[in-house]
Structure 1
Amino acid sequence: MLCWTDSLEIAISLEETSPDIDPKTINFVDLRQLVMDLEDFEEGQSKCGERVLEAIQMNWIEEKE
Structure 2
Amino acid sequence: MSLYWDDTYEIAQALIQSHPEQDPLEVPFTTLLNWITELADFNDDPNGVSEAKLEAVQMAWYEEVTG
With the shorter chain as reference, the TM-score category is over 0.9
Q: Aligned-residue CA RMSD in angstroms?
A: 0.7
Identity %: 37
Gaps of 5+ in 2: none
Normalised by the length of structure 1, the TM-score is: 0.95
Q: Does 1:55 align with 2:56?
A: yes
Matching residue of 2:38: 37
Q: Which runs of 4+ in 1 moved over 2 A?
A: none
Count of residue pairs brought into register by the alignment: 65
Gaps of 5+ in 1: none
**Code of the aligned partner of 2:59:** M
Normalised by the length of structure 2, the TM-score is: 0.92
**Code of the aligned partner of 2:52:** R
